[in-house]
Chain A
Amino acid sequence: MTTQTADMPAATLDLRIPRTRRWPTPLAPLVTGGSTHKDIVRAWLLAASLPAIWGVALFGPAALTLILVAIATAVGTEFFAAAIRGRTIIGGITHAALTGLLVALTLPATAAWYIAAAGSLVAIIAGKTIFGGFGHYLWHPALVGRVVVQLLFLNSLTLGMTQPTWPILSPDRVFVGDIRSTHPLEMSGYSGWSSLPKRTATDAVLMERPVQSLRRFSNGEIRPDINSTNQDVLRYEPLFRDVLPPWQDTILGCVPGGIGETCTLTLIVAGFYLIYRGYLRWQLPVVILAAAAIAAAIFPIESAPLPIGSALRNAESGGYDWFPIFTVENGRAVGVAYVLYHLTAGELMLGAFLLAGDMVATPMRARGQALFAAGVGVLTIFMRLYGVLECECYWSILIMNSLVRTIDARMKRPVLGMEPEAEPA
C-alpha cells in the first residue's frame, strides 16, 4: 500500500477528464431581474404618449407639430452632444425622445414651433448633457427646458399671464381643427364642452384656464354675491357659476392648457401603467395629490371685497378665508369642490404622474419619495395661491429635485445588526 500525500500526486497526470466545452464565467448573480434601463425609458415613453394623443385630439395638428418638433430637436441635440463629446449616447435616443415629448406636453398648443425647439434644446444641453447625461442630472431635464423657455419667451403672446384666455377645439373639430381660428366664449351659462354649438364659423373657443381662475379667486379678484333671501355672502358660488367650466371637463381634459396637462383621465391611466410595471412607486403620485389636497383645504385665500352698497360690507371686508374646505354655501359643500378643482386644474396631474417620478431626480427610497412628493404638493398649492410664477408645479418639482441628495442622506435604512447611533450624522 503506497502512502502518498494528497497535494503531491504521482506522475499520472495524463488521467484527465477530456475538456470539450468552455462557457463564459460572469460573476454572481448569474440571473438578472429582467428590467433594464431601456425597458424603463420605453415604458415611460409609452405612458407619456397617451396624454400626447389626447392632446392632439383636443388641440389639433398644431399640437402634433409641436410634439414632433420637440422630439426631433431633442434627439438631434443628443446626437450632436454625443458627437462633440466623442462617446456613445448613454441611455439611448429613447430617453432624448422622452425628454422632448415631455417638454412638448407642458407647452400650450398655440406656442410657436421655435419655442418647442428651444425648450428641447435647453432640456438636453443644460438639463442633461452638462451633468454627464442620463443618470447624472440633478433636475428633471424637461422641466429645466420648460421653465427656461417660460422665462425667455415671457412676452410672447402664447405664454404667461399676458393672455387671459386660451383656445380649445370644439367637439366637432377634434384632431383636425385649427387652434388659431377662435372666438371667445361666454362662461356664465356654459354647460360643458360637449354641449358647445356645432358648425360654428371658428374651430376653437377661447376661455380662461381653470388654474388661472383659481389664482384670480385666491387673490380676491372674483366678486362675491349676496344671497338676497337670507343675506348670506356667497364667495364661491360666482367662481363655479360664472368662471370655471364644469368639473367633469377638467377630468376629461376639455379645458384649455398645455398639450398634456389637461386630461386627468389619461394621466391617471398612464400613471397606473407605470405603477403596474413597477417603474413608478405609487407613493409618489398619491402623496403629491394628497399633500396638494390638504394644502388647498387649509391654506387661506384672500377675501374679495363685497359689492359697494352691501349692508355686510363693513363687517366682512378684508382679511382671509381660513380653511376653505369647510365652506358651505346654500347648503352645498363648495369647499370640497374648490379642493377638487385645485387637483384637476393646471399641471398638477401631469407633474404627479409623469414628471415628478423621474428615477434619476427622485430620492431612492419610497419614504424619501413620499417626503419629496409632500414637498411638491404643498409647494405647488402655495405658489399657486400666493406666488406670481406661472408653472408652479414645475417650479416646485425643480425645487424638490435640488433637495433629493439631502433627503437621501437623511433617509438611510438601518443596517442589520448595527446600532443606529453608529451611522454617520
Chain B
Amino acid sequence: MTILQNLLGSPRTFEGGLFLADHKSATARRPIETIHADPQGPGLFVPLAPRSDLPTRPIVSPGTHVLGGQCLAEAVGVDSIPIHAPTSGHIKGFSRVWSPVDGFLPCAVLMPDGRNDFITPATIWADESFVGQLAERGVFCSQPRMAAHTFILQAARAGVTELIVNAMETEPYLSSDLRTIVEEPGRIIDMIGEFADALGAHRAILALPNRHRRVVKRIQAEAAGRHIDIVSLTDKYPQCHPVLLVKSILDREVEPGQSVLDIGACVLPLQVVRAAAEAWLNDRPITHAQITVSGTAALHSGVYRVPIGTPISQLIDRVGTIARVEQVIWGGPLTGVALGRDDAVVTIDTTAILLMTGTSTHEPVPCIRCGWCVEDCPVGLDPSDLMQLEAEPSITAIEGLHLQACIDCGLCSHVCPAELPIAAVIKRRRNSMTTSALPVIDAAPAGPAAFPPKTVTAKERA
C-alpha cells in the first residue's frame, strides 16, 4: 500500500465514513430565492449579539425609522460585529429571543414597512483594509462560530500556509454551497483570492464534491490562471469536516485536541466567502442569511436568503408544508440541533432549517457488536468502547485523547442498529472532561488576551 501511495500519491480520502442518501434533489436545482420581510407579520426579531459572549451596544431607540443596512448596534470589543437592519421599518422596541445554541439573546424588534429601502453605503470607513471591512460589515463565520475577521486574524497569526475553502457540504439536504457555486462562481473565485492575500497563504484551495462534474468544470474554467486549486473529493460523509479536509487534501493529521490552524491550514466555510463577497464586492452589510430550507415536510424546499431575525414560524408559513411538522432541525441532520419551539429566529450563523415529519424515537438495546460504528468512524475510534466511559468516574489519558479526537460527526449513532445514543454520550463525556480539571491536553496556543484561547480549541472542533 505504501509503495502504491508513493507512486500514485495519497488517495485523497480518509478511512471510514459513509455515503449517505443525500436528499438534495429538491433543493439543488432551484435558484436561490430571497424572502422579503412581511409587513403584516409579527416583525423581525434581530438578535443583537451573534454569540452570547459577543456583546453589542444598540445605537437606535424605540420608535425610530431605520433603513435596510443601517447599523442597529455597534460592536463592543474587537471580537464582536455590528448588527444591521435587514430591511426598512421602524424599531418597535427591544426584547429577547431564544436561540438553540445560545439560549436567550437580546434582540431589536423591527416592524418592516414593506418598502425595503436600503441605505446608500458610507464612503468613509474606519478601517479600509479587507479584514477591517469584514468586521465593519458584520461577516460572521458559522464553523468555527466566530466573527470572520477574528478568525482570519487568528489564522494569520498562527501562520497558516494553506487556505482551504470548504464547499463540500456532504450532509444530507444541504444545498446552499452548491447553489452559491452554481450562481456566482466568479465572485467566489475573486473572494478566495482576497482571503488568501489577507492570510498570506501560499496556496488557496477550493474543495467541492466531485459528483457535480459540470460544476467542477465550470469553476475550474473560472479559476484558470488564478493560482487557486480546485480539488474535487468524494462526497463521503463527513468529508466536510475541517480535520478530514486537511487529511484528504494535504495528507496532514490533526492531533486530538488541536485545531487545523495548528498544522498550518485554515479551513473557511464557503458561506463566509459568499458573505464576504456580498460585503466587499456589493458594498453591503450582512443582513440576510443564506439557508437551506428542506426536509420531508417542506413544500417549497430550496435555498433562501432570509432576513436575519425572521421567526421560524414565519419561515415555515412562507415555505409551506406538505405534512405535519414533527421535528425541526437547526443545521444539518447529523450535526444540527433539534429546535424545540417555534419562537426561535433565523440567526446570522444559521445554515439550514429542516422540517421533518416523523421524529427519531430511540429504544436502545445493548450493543450487538455489529462493528458498524468502528468501521465508519472517520477518525478511527472505537465508539462502542468509548460509550462505556459514561459511567466511569475517572478516565485514563489515552481515553481522554480518544474523546478529544472525536469530531462529533454523529455517524456512530446514525448507523447504530441498537439505537444507542453514542455520539451524544461521547460529547457529554468530553464536555465534562474539559470543564473538570483534567490536564489531558494543553492545546491553547499562546496569543494576546484579546483572542481568548477557547475560541481556538472548543469552537473549532465543535
CB contacts (< 8 Å) of A366 on chain B: these are 371, 375
Q: Is B92 an interface residue (CB 8 A)?
A: yes
Q: What is the bound-complex CA distance between A20 and B369, given in angstroms?
A: 43
B334 & A133 in contact (Cβ 8 Å cutoff): no
Q: Is A309 an interface residue (CB 8 A)?
A: no
B366 & A28 in contact (Cβ 8 Å cutoff): no
CB contacts (< 8 Å) of A201 on chain B: these are none
Q: What is the bound-complex CA distance between A1 and B70, given in angstroms?
A: 15
From A6-14, A235-243, A310-318, A319-327, the one touching the partner chain is A6-14
Instruction: Please name the residue on chain B nearest to A279 by beta carbon.
Output: B370
CB contacts (< 8 Å) of B415 on chain A: these are 32-33, 35
Partner of A1, one of B60, B254, B337, B375: B60
A27 & B421 in contact (Cβ 8 Å cutoff): yes
B371 & A1 in contact (Cβ 8 Å cutoff): no
CB contacts (< 8 Å) of B15 on chain A: these are 413
Q: Contacts A416-B253, A416-B405 given: A7-B55 contact, CB under 8 Å?
A: yes
Question: How distant is B155 from chain A, measured CB to nearest CB, in Å?
Answer: 19
Partner of A365, one of B48, B97, B362, B371: B371
In the complex, per-residue mask of A4-39: 1 if CB is within 8 Å of any chain B CB, else 0: 111101101111111111111111111111011101
Q: Which of A2, A6, A22 has the most CB of B within 10 A?
A: A6
Instruction: Please name the residue on chain A nearest to B378 by beta carbon.
Output: A416
Partner of A363, one of B172, B362, B371: B371
Q: What is the bound-complex CA distance between A368 and B382, given in angstroms?
A: 14
Question: How distant is A364 from chain B, measured CB to nearest CB, in Å?
Answer: 3
In the complex, per-residue mask of B109-140: 1 if CB is within 8 Å of any chain A CB, else 0: 10000000000000000000000000000000
B380 & A32 in contact (Cβ 8 Å cutoff): no
From A58-66, A208-216, A294-302, A417-425, the one touching the partner chain is A417-425
B360 & A360 in contact (Cβ 8 Å cutoff): no
Q: Is B302 an interface residue (CB 8 A)?
A: no
Q: What is the bound-complex CA distance between A406 and B423, given in angstroms?
A: 25
Q: What is the bound-complex CA distance between A374 and B459, given in angstroms?
A: 46
Q: What is the bound-complex CA distance between A133 and B365, given in angstroms?
A: 10
A31 & B366 in contact (Cβ 8 Å cutoff): no
Q: Is B377 an interface residue (CB 8 A)?
A: yes
Q: What is the bound-complex CA distance between A29 and B362, given in angstroms?
A: 12
Instruction: Please name the residue on chain A nearest to B60 by beta carbon.
Output: A1
CB contacts (< 8 Å) of A90 on chain B: these are 365-366
Q: What is the bound-complex CA distance between A416 and B401, given in angstroms?
A: 11
Q: Is the interface of B mostly helix, strand, loop or mixed?
A: loop
Q: Contacts A28-B410, A30-B329, A37-B417 given: A15-B339 contact, CB under 8 Å?
A: no
B95 & A15 in contact (Cβ 8 Å cutoff): yes
Q: Which of A10, A26, A28, A133 has the most CB of B within 10 A?
A: A28
Partner of A30, one of B327, B340, B408: B327
Q: What is the bound-complex CA distance between A361 and B14, given in angstroms?
A: 28
Q: Is A136 an interface residue (CB 8 A)?
A: yes
Partner of B336, one of A28, A37, A362: A28
Q: Is A135 an interface residue (CB 8 A)?
A: yes
B405 & A417 in contact (Cβ 8 Å cutoff): yes
A40 & B414 in contact (Cβ 8 Å cutoff): no
Question: How distant is B373 from chain A, measured CB to nearest CB, in Å?
Answer: 9
CB contacts (< 8 Å) of A368 on chain B: these are 371
B343 & A29 in contact (Cβ 8 Å cutoff): no
Q: Contacts A6-B48, A418-B255 given: A31-B57 contact, CB under 8 Å?
A: no
Q: Is A91 an interface residue (CB 8 A)?
A: yes
Q: What is the bound-complex CA distance between A364 and B368, given in angstroms?
A: 10
Q: Contacts A135-B369, A416-B243, A417-B253 given: A28-B335 contact, CB under 8 Å?
A: yes
Instruction: Please name the residue on chain B nearest to A29 by beta carbon.
Output: B410
Q: Is B207 an interface residue (CB 8 A)?
A: no
Question: How distant is B11 from chain A, measured CB to nearest CB, in Å?
Answer: 15
In the complex, per-residue mask of B49-64: 1 if CB is within 8 Å of any chain A CB, else 0: 1000001111111100
Q: What is the bound-complex CA distance between A368 and B370, given in angstroms?
A: 12
Partner of A418, one of B45, B55, B334, B401: B401
CB contacts (< 8 Å) of A230 on chain B: these are none
Q: What is the bound-complex CA distance between A178 and B401, given in angstroms?
A: 65
In the complex, per-residue mask of B365-398: 1 if CB is within 8 Å of any chain A CB, else 0: 1111111001101111110100000000000001
B255 & A16 in contact (Cβ 8 Å cutoff): no
B62 & A422 in contact (Cβ 8 Å cutoff): no
Partner of A364, one of B95, B339, B384: B384
Query: In chain B, residues 196-231, which have Cβ atoms closer than 8 Å to a Cβ of chain A?
Result: none
Question: How distant is A131 from chain B, measured CB to nearest CB, in Å?
Answer: 11
Partner of B94, one of A4, A24, A32, A361: A4
Partner of A25, one of B255, B340, B408: B340
CB contacts (< 8 Å) of A418 on chain B: these are 255-256, 401, 405
Q: Is A359 an interface residue (CB 8 A)?
A: yes
A31 & B371 in contact (Cβ 8 Å cutoff): no
Instruction: Please name the residue on chain B nearest to A39 by beta carbon.
Output: B417
In the complex, per-residue mask of A345-361: 1 if CB is within 8 Å of any chain B CB, else 0: 00000000000000111
CB contacts (< 8 Å) of A15 on chain B: these are 92-95, 109
B339 & A29 in contact (Cβ 8 Å cutoff): no
Q: What is the bound-complex CA distance between A414 and B94, given in angstroms?
A: 53
CB contacts (< 8 Å) of B254 on chain A: these are 416-417
Q: Is B402 an interface residue (CB 8 A)?
A: yes
Q: Is B305 an interface residue (CB 8 A)?
A: no
Question: How distant is A91 from chain B, measured CB to nearest CB, in Å?
Answer: 6
Q: Contacts A6-B56, A31-B333, A414-B380 given: A423-B398 contact, CB under 8 Å?
A: yes
Partner of A26, one of B92, B255, B360: B360
B256 & A415 in contact (Cβ 8 Å cutoff): yes
Instruction: Please name the residue on chain B nearest to A5 by beta carbon.
Output: B57
B366 & A30 in contact (Cβ 8 Å cutoff): no
Q: What is the bound-complex CA distance between A15 and B97, given in angstroms?
A: 9
In the complex, per-residue mask of A84-110: 1 if CB is within 8 Å of any chain B CB, else 0: 000000110000000000000000000
Q: What is the bound-complex CA distance between A164 and B89, given in angstroms?
A: 97
CB contacts (< 8 Å) of A183 on chain B: these are none
CB contacts (< 8 Å) of B59 on chain A: these are 1, 3
CB contacts (< 8 Å) of A424 on chain B: these are 398
Partner of B368, one of A18, A135, A365: A135
Q: Contacts A29-B335, A364-B384, A418-B256 given: A9-B365 contact, CB under 8 Å?
A: no
Instruction: Please name the residue on chain B nearest to A40 by beta carbon.
Output: B417
CB contacts (< 8 Å) of B334 on chain A: these are 28-31
CB contacts (< 8 Å) of A13 on chain B: these are 95-96
CB contacts (< 8 Å) of B327 on chain A: these are 23-24, 26, 30
Q: Contacts A19-B342, A26-B360, A415-B256 given: A91-B398 contact, CB under 8 Å?
A: no
A6 & B379 in contact (Cβ 8 Å cutoff): no
Q: Contacts A5-B55, A30-B334 given: A133-B366 contact, CB under 8 Å?
A: yes
Q: What is the bound-complex CA distance between A361 and B417, given in angstroms?
A: 16
In the complex, per-residue mask of A215-238: 1 if CB is within 8 Å of any chain B CB, else 0: 000000000000000000000000
Q: Is B418 an interface residue (CB 8 A)?
A: yes
In the complex, per-residue mask of B402-442: 1 if CB is within 8 Å of any chain A CB, else 0: 10010010110111111101011000000000000000000
With A28-B410, A31-B360, A90-B366 known, 10 other A-B pairs at CB within 8 A are: A12-B93, A17-B313, A22-B342, A23-B340, A28-B335, A36-B419, A39-B417, A359-B369, A366-B371, A416-B247
Which 8 pairs of residues, A with B, have the shortest CB-CB distance?
A: A364-B371, A29-B410, A135-B366, A413-B380, A27-B424, A15-B95, A12-B93, A17-B343
Q: List 24 A-B contacts (CB under 8 A).
A: A3-B57, A7-B49, A7-B106, A9-B95, A9-B106, A12-B109, A15-B95, A16-B343, A17-B313, A18-B313, A19-B343, A21-B342, A23-B325, A23-B327, A27-B338, A30-B333, A33-B415, A37-B418, A90-B365, A364-B384, A365-B371, A418-B256, A418-B405, A423-B398
